[in-house]
A and B are shown apart, each in its own frame.
Chain A
């Protein structure tokens, strides 16, 4: 799985939980919250969808790793690998 793959999966989840957001130009290095209108309830949903769709567990203390698309992919790629292994 590449960075782009992981980021695309995260964007797909965001599109589902926040269909009113424009996701065409999200900068991977910038915090999601600085570009999109996402709050803690939305982040809970990103975590819940990761679990539902991919069996990935993100404990609450790790939520900061989901701040930007770059940090998401860095944090999630090993997790994707271990669940598919």
Chain B
């Protein structure tokens, strides 16, 4: 996604651009696939940063302008409503922050003024500064929110949707995520992520951009501190004035012939996820499941860290892609029930094929049942009765299809905000530059293309 956005920017101003993609499908961490005649999105619970038409000065608007895409082209439909669900307490939120505010006022009456102050602090934060110093979000936010339960509840969605760090976030990243989820909101195109990718591809192609699919970069040959030539999977070599890499920092370093192949080990991200998908023969709303997304936790404190076991089912995210306001009576043909939890890459990688398959089956069951504890109760066996298809991915799947070491969806915990690498003409964009998620990835590609190439040439 970040590579496509960067490619569009560069092609727009007459640069000759080639996008190299190792996989056979575009989209990377947020791609799409078909199986047994069914269409699936790899990820895409929600497009964050959603604002209504006419709201100015937001990341979504910047993105449309910078890529010269019409807002209508993405076909974004707003969410119904989501919630954070902790033991004995629920906080609902929608694309209108007033709802979250009134929920906090009801459940945490003593914290509401603190919350308002926090919102004011965050509104003044500029997300596009590339020279910010990293600070602890837990410490900063605790100066406003003094109830540890509310603190955990506010952090939970923001960490799940955008923290590469365990237990804490950088405050700048916290502010970006807070705006993108609580002050702006969630949306989804009716056709899912493929709609967004198709728009980007068409834009890129119309501007004369070129792509080579199923052809990765195998090696970056260096000389005099520059990336001087790329060796591709098919044996070809190519040269370029500038190289932007969206594959990750360590992943990129390890392609360079002037660094040892095992370099950067300490920088491999530790957080990976498992996701289960149940396809239903009916709409989730028919079971009384009307939320768009539910961030749940049933532990005393919210622990966001690589689990000891294969999976940590104590907290997670439930998503019903059906529950968006698609308008004019449009509903997805089938019900979709997705559950995500944190998972341990090493554990999953060590399993032999039969163990792996067995573990998938066990955890699919466990996750679905765990999630149901946070949903309106239904009679026993309901889940089995309405499920017509199951799919699932593990940290292993993520590594296999996207090349991200450790299956780390959000990449390394230390980001390189200005995108510089040890080579003069090689820059990072996307995940390890630090803007995360779909909108983040596109903005990262845009910013890095602007900063390193367009401004200077």
A60 touches B455 (CB 8 A): yes
B57 touches A44 (CB 8 A): no
Task: Give the A interface residue count (CB, 8 A).
Answer: 15
A17 to B71, CA, bound (A): 13
Asked if A56 is at the interface of the complex by the 8 Å CB criterion, the answer is no
CB contacts (< 8 Å) of A60 on chain B: these are: 455
A37 to B61, CA, bound (A): 10
Asked if A1 is at the interface of the complex by the 8 Å CB criterion, the answer is no
CB contacts (< 8 Å) of B450 on chain A: these are: 41, 44
Asked if A42 is at the interface of the complex by the 8 Å CB criterion, the answer is yes
**In the complex, the 9 A-B pairs of residues with the closest C-beta atoms, listed nearest first:** A37-B56, A48-B13, A37-B57, A18-B65, A44-B450, A41-B66, A52-B13, A41-B62, A17-B65
A48 touches B65 (CB 8 A): no
Asked if B98 is at the interface of the complex by the 8 Å CB criterion, the answer is no
List CB contacts (< 8 Å) of B46-104 with chain A.
54, 56-57, 61-62, 64-66, 68, 70-71
B443: min CB distance to chain A, Å? 10
Asked if B14 is at the interface of the complex by the 8 Å CB criterion, the answer is yes
B7: min CB distance to chain A, Å? 16
CB contacts (< 8 Å) of B14 on chain A: these are: 52
Task: Give the B interface residue count (CB, 8 A).
Answer: 19
Q: Which residue of chain A has the shortest Cβ distance to B13 in the bound complex?
A: A48
CB contacts (< 8 Å) of A48 on chain B: these are: 12-13, 454
Chain A positions near chain B (C-beta within 8 angstroms): 16-20, 37, 39, 41-42, 44-45, 48, 51-52, 60
A41 to B445, CA, bound (A): 13
A76: min CB distance to chain B, Å? 19
Chain B positions near chain A (C-beta within 8 angstroms): 12-14, 54, 56-57, 61-62, 64-66, 68, 70-71, 128, 446, 450, 454-455
A18: min CB distance to chain B, Å? 6
Q: Which of B56, B57, B66, B70 lies in contact with A45, CB distance below 8 A?
A: B66
CB contacts (< 8 Å) of B54 on chain A: these are: 20
A8 to B161, CA, bound (A): 44
B133: min CB distance to chain A, Å? 21
CB contacts (< 8 Å) of A37 on chain B: these are: 56-57, 61
CB contacts (< 8 Å) of B12 on chain A: these are: 48
A48 to B128, CA, bound (A): 20
B68 touches A20 (CB 8 A): no
A44 touches B65 (CB 8 A): no
CB contacts (< 8 Å) of A17 on chain B: these are: 65, 68
Q: Which of A16, A39, A52 lies in contact with B57, CB distance below 8 A?
A: A39
B65 touches A42 (CB 8 A): yes
A16 to B68, CA, bound (A): 8
Q: Which residue of chain B has the shortest Cβ distance to A42 in the bound complex?
A: B65
A45 to B128, CA, bound (A): 16
CB contacts (< 8 Å) of B454 on chain A: these are: 44, 48
A18 to B419, CA, bound (A): 27
Q: Which residue of chain A has the shortest Cβ distance to B14 in the bound complex?
A: A52
A44 to B65, CA, bound (A): 12
Q: Which of A16, A39, A51, A52 lies in contact with B62, CB distance below 8 A?
A: A39
Q: Which residue of chain B has the shortest Cβ distance to A48 in the bound complex?
A: B13
A26 to B66, CA, bound (A): 22
B13 touches A41 (CB 8 A): no
Report which residue of B12, B65, B128, B450 has the largest number of chain A beta carbons within 10 angstroms of its beta carbon: B65
B55: min CB distance to chain A, Å? 10
A37 to B55, CA, bound (A): 10
CB contacts (< 8 Å) of A39 on chain B: these are: 57, 62
B126: min CB distance to chain A, Å? 10
B427: min CB distance to chain A, Å? 17
Q: Which residue of chain B has the shortest Cβ distance to A44 in the bound complex?
A: B450
CB contacts (< 8 Å) of A45 on chain B: these are: 65-66
A8 to B177, CA, bound (A): 39
CB contacts (< 8 Å) of A16 on chain B: these are: 68
Given contacts A18-B65, A20-B65, A52-B14, 16 further A-B contacts (CB under 8 A): A17-B68, A19-B70, A20-B71, A37-B56, A37-B61, A41-B62, A41-B66, A41-B128, A41-B446, A41-B450, A42-B65, A45-B66, A48-B13, A48-B454, A51-B13, A60-B455
* 29 A–B contacts, CB within 8 A, in A order: A16-B68, A17-B65, A17-B68, A18-B65, A20-B54, A20-B64, A20-B65, A20-B71, A37-B56, A37-B57, A39-B62, A41-B62, A41-B65, A41-B66, A41-B128, A41-B446, A41-B450, A42-B65, A44-B450, A44-B454, A44-B455, A45-B65, A45-B66, A48-B12, A48-B13, A51-B13, A52-B13, A52-B14, A60-B455
